[in-house]
Amino acid sequence: MFGVTLPVSTNRPVIRRAGSRPVISDQEYSEFVNEEGFLFPAEVDEMKSVTMPLHSAAILPSPILLWRLKVLLFIVWGVSCCKISWDSVMRMSADLQDLFLYEAFLYYNPLLLVTMMVWLWGVNLWVFAQSTVNYARIFDLDHTHLTHNEIWKCATWMTIVVPTSMTAYLYLYSHGEVSLAASQPVILYAVVLMLLIFPFDIFYLSSRYYFLRTLWRIILPLQAISFSDFFLADILTSMSKVLSDLERSVCRMVNRQVATIAWFEADSICGSHSVAIPLVLVLPYLCRLFQCLRQYRDTKEKTSLLNALKYSTAVPVILLSALKYHVFPEKWINFYRPLWLMSSVINSLYSFYWDLARDWDLSVFSRIFKFKSPHICTTIFYGRQWVYYWVISSNLILRCTWTYKLSAHLRHNYITVFTITALEIFRRFQWIFFRVENEWNKMTAFKTSVELAMDEIGPKEDDRLLGSSNHEI
């Protein structure tokens, strides 16, 4: 059991265990034993080679034990990070705590929100795998695409690395190591960038290339728009605040303002008055607008123009909100804020209508996700009308809060902004289920209509050919 080699007797044969070498008789066994009754070295090595796999198999822990050990280590790691971060913040003076936490949150909340999106995308793929929706065909993916398990593996590493870097940043800054603290977000961002553009066949090269190629097609929509192009662009509109925070973080890293409060000054190039903030916020909506125009050029469908109009309504919301930092407060309150409220209502209601009528096609309640086998999702969601009521009501509320988040006076309330951004990502997570399922229904309906058309044309064509064969043999 413990891999201990028992002494070999010279007056008994070697008994074969299951899976080992054949049984050696007494006569054959005596040929390998010398006069002193010891085995030759070669035979001892062969017997060791037989016992080594048994010894290794005996000490190999079970998968359940390994899983419990991983969960235990993850909990210990999480508690340790929270304890170190809390103690580090408590070491600072009261007047610097809020400013420092706002800056630390700015560097790390984009990657934390991206990690959340990756986790939820893995859940999307897991549900699609349980249902009849062929998402690989919808997105035109090959056999090397990432499964939900691989997505969750990436999300797990992101969940470990990002909070660890944030904890190191807080600890080093609170203990006076400002230069080392400033290097933590810089190293993290550099590693993430290197992993994305790494040209060698490791770290899911084909999936990274697919992602970067789709991003390039979104920025420059010079070709026909595919489903994956506008699907990722729609997700980026929900993460416009993440992109804005990424721009501000990179700006401070380039201008060496990390772990300082120079950015809080009004004339700072990376401060709240920066023109780049509204430009980055509006960039995903402009990309989606240009995609709709390109789609109208290719298909001549008026629906594409109406969709482009929807994305154009987000532009005044963002620009009017940014004007608060560039006009007098009285003028903002009396003139620009009413315009901002009106444009926010128009954008929210227009987007809500488009989600229901166009993206989801929920004009009539129908059952979604016909699962391949009985599953917990089948019991909870399949055919339940409360799911539709929940999705419709939550989508309306979160559409309004997402527009309200773009308000300038909430920019420094980082806890509120982070919460609303996380809720918007959750809304997009719900949106993905219905949008992908609706696209799959369109594909299957088109395939069925084509097959029916071929069935109708086929017999007529056969009759025509048979009727024209009047020649003699």
Question: What does the DSSP assignment read for 284-314?
Answer: HHHHHHHHHHHHHHHH--HHHHHHHHHHHTH
- Give residue 148's pLDDT band: very low, low, confident or very high (50, 70, 90): very high
Q: Look at residue 336 and tell me whether its pLDDT is greater than 90.
A: no
What is the spatial distance between Cα 154 and Cα 117, in angstroms, rounded to a whole number?
A: 12
Q: Provide the token pair at 220.
A: 């420059």
Compare 42 and 205 and report the one with higher pLDDT: 205
pLDDT, one tens digit per residue, over 42-96 is 444 554 444 444 454 456 678 888 888 888 998 999 999 999 988 988 888 777 7
User: What local confidence, expressed as pLDDT, does residue 422 receive?
Assistant: 93
What is the spatial distance between Cα 118 and Cα 239, in angstroms, rounded to a whole number?
A: 12
Compare 95 and 382 and report the one with higher pLDDT: 95
User: Where are the chain's structural domains?
Assistant: 1-60, 64-177, 198-340, 384-405+413-438
- Give residue 443's pLDDT band: very low, low, confident or very high (50, 70, 90): confident
Q: Look at residue 470 and tell me whether its pLDDT is greater than 80.
A: no
What is the spatial distance between Cα 437 and Cα 108, in angstroms, rounded to a whole number?
A: 33
Tallying the residues shown for the chain, one arrives at 473
Please give the angle made by the CA atoms of 293, 295 and 301, to the nearest 5 degrees.
95
Please give the angle made by the CA atoms of 36, 37 and 41, to the nearest 5 degrees.
95
**What are the C-alpha distances in Å from 129 to residues 1, 114, 117, 207, 388?**
42, 22, 18, 18, 21
- Give residue 361's pLDDT band: very low, low, confident or very high (50, 70, 90): confident
- Give residue 305's pLDDT band: very low, low, confident or very high (50, 70, 90): very high
User: What local confidence, expressed as pLDDT, does residue 17 receive?
Assistant: 40
Q: Look at residue 125 and tell me whether its pLDDT is greater than 60.
A: yes
What is the spatial distance between Cα 404 and Cα 398, in angstroms, rounded to a whole number?
A: 10
Total Cβ atoms within 10 A of residue 5: 10
Q: Look at residue 293 and tell me whether its pLDDT is greater than 90.
A: yes
Instruction: Give the pLDDT mean for 135-153.
Output: 89
User: What local confidence, expressed as pLDDT, does residue 264 receive?
Assistant: 61
Closest by alpha carbon to 435, among 443, 213, 402, 129?
443
- Give residue 376's pLDDT band: very low, low, confident or very high (50, 70, 90): low
Total Cβ atoms within 10 A of residue 171: 20
Closest by alpha carbon to 283, among 324, 236, 323, 217?
236
